[in-house]
Amino acid sequence: MLYMVEMIVRIPSTLDPEVAAKIKQEEKEYSQKLQREGKWRHLWRVVGEYANVSIFDAKDNDELHTMLSSLPLFPYMEIKVTPLANHPSSIVQE
């Protein structure tokens, strides 16, 4: 099942910069692992914001929740999830 996931990151200014850098590196490694596995299908930056719009492929809501809540930046994110369905006019069906 495909999901559009919008993530806004809000790291507190009080967080130690070294800790923030470590979390960001762990985030990068985990997100790239999910991308290589085909779970995180697309990843786009939102211009002018510390935010992204992504497409995830998960077997169900529980798997998606596990992936998202395992993100190292999860405690600092506002996340909106939209389940997607095939459009009847699309020439490509997932």
Q: Which domains occur in the chain, in start order?
A: 2-83 (3.30.70.1060)
- Residue 11 has a pLDDT of 97
55 burial class (0-12, 13-18, 19+ CB within 10 angstroms)? middle
CB 55 within 8 A of CB 41: yes
pTM for the full model? 0.92
- 10 C-beta neighbours (distance < 10 Å), count: 12
Express each pLDDT in 43-66 by its tens digit. Answer: 999 999 999 999 999 999 999 999
Q: Which helix (H) or strand (E) holds 62?
A: helix 61-69
Mean pLDDT, the chain, rounded, equals: 97
| The pLDDT of residue 93 is above 90 | no
pLDDT exceeds cutoff 90 at 92: no
